[in-house]
Amino acid sequence: MNFKIQAIPAFKDNYLWLIIHPDLSEALVVDPGDSKPVLEALDSQGLSLAGILITHKHNDHIGGIQELLKKFKVPVFASPVENIPWMTHPVSEQEEIHIKHWPTIKIIEVPGHTLGHVAYLIGSHLFCGDTLFGAGCGRLFEGTPVQMYKSLSKIKSLPENTLIYCAHEYTLKNLSFAEFLEPENIQIKSRIRETEELLAKGIPSVPFSLKIEKETNPFLRCDQRAIKAAVEKKFGPKCESEIDIFRSLRAWRNEW
């Protein structure tokens, strides 16, 4: 199904995602942290709301739910672990979401940023909230490095043509860290140029393919010799596993 996916900018650097049905005048919204721009987008295109998909509990992802529900009586999907008060339909990796006239939505549990974080896979489109960013990954507010590494590994195992829709415009800053780690990586240099050109035109750097992430995102490249060498140069030769490398990378990026 060739639905249109629209990025709705919000706050400083958030993207709220509107998924528009190709044959019906309705849409799904992912992580509506602010109701106002969502309602404006729906009204301007003559769309109704069919459902709300929530990746995790942080306010910039859920702050608009209550106002949206005043106008649209729709299901709110989220992990029960997140304890979101407006949730009507709890989701888990063992289940799928079926909304009338919409394709099946698969759930991927990706704890790390928060303990109940989930991602939604619709065809080849992955809405992953704050788990995977362009050339980066989310901070570990609740989860452990092991949890986040396993979550990223789940995403990494998807087909390379999967398009990633994350919730923040962090790509260029993340690429500066990636380039520092792998100064000889030509894919990183090329992606920096492309991202700068997009942002200069006011075009989001999101979505991006999983293929380019695997080529340029250090958090998906913990098996690469250059990443291991960079980490050991900073922290010493104590990284015995890819999870050790990931743990050190995440700590390093926190202070970058």
Read off the pLDDT of residues 185-218 as tens digits, 9 standing for 90 and up. Answer: 999 999 999 999 999 999 999 999 999 999 999 9
CA distances from 204 to 38, 64, 168 (A): 17, 22, 10
pLDDT at residue number 251? 95
pLDDT of 76 > 80? The answer is yes
Peptide bond into 207 cis (omega under 30): yes
Residue 27, SS3 per DSSP: strand
Residue 233, SS3 per DSSP: helix
Choose which CATH entry (3.60.21.10, 3.40.50.300, 3.40.50.2300, 3.60.15.10) describes domain 4-254: 3.60.15.10
β-pairing, 125-129 vs 26-30, is: unpaired
Q: For 61-78, what is the mean pLDDT?
A: 98
pLDDT at residue number 236? 80
pLDDT band of residue 235 (cuts 50, 70, 90) is: confident
What the block records as the tokens of 181 is 């780690």
pLDDT of 131 > 80? The answer is yes
Read off the pLDDT of residues 12-68 as tens digits, 9 standing for 90 and up. Answer: 999 999 999 999 999 999 999 999 999 999 999 999 999 999 999 999 999 999 999
pLDDT at residue number 133? 98
pLDDT of 239 > 80? The answer is no
Mean pLDDT across the chain: 96
pLDDT of 240 > 80? The answer is no
Q: Which stretches of 18-105 are DSSP H helices? A: 35-44, 59-62, 65-71
Q: From 35, 41, 55, 36, select the one nearest 4 (Cα to Cα).
A: 41
Q: Are 119 and 31 in contact (CB under 8 A)?
A: no
251: part of which helix (H) or strand (E)? helix 242-254
pLDDT at residue number 22? 93
pLDDT at residue number 238? 72
**Helix 186-200 with 171-181: angle, nearest 10 deg:** 160
Residue 179, SS3 per DSSP: helix
Q: Is 243 exposed, middle or buried (0-12, 13-18, 19+ CB in 10 A)?
A: middle
pLDDT at residue number 256? 84
pLDDT at residue number 159? 98
pLDDT at residue number 179? 98
User: The pTM is what?
Assistant: 0.96
Residue 185, SS3 per DSSP: coil
pLDDT of 117 > 80? The answer is yes
Cα 237 off chain centre by: 32
Q: For 128-136, what is the mean pLDDT?
A: 98
Say how far apart CA 16 and CA 14 lie, in whole Å: 7
For the chain, percent of residues with pLDDT exceeding 70? 100
Say how far apart CA 28 and CA 220 lie, in whole Å: 29
Read off the pLDDT of residues 245-256 as tens digits, 9 standing for 90 and up. Answer: 999 999 999 998
Say how far apart CA 154 and CA 173 lie, in whole Å: 24
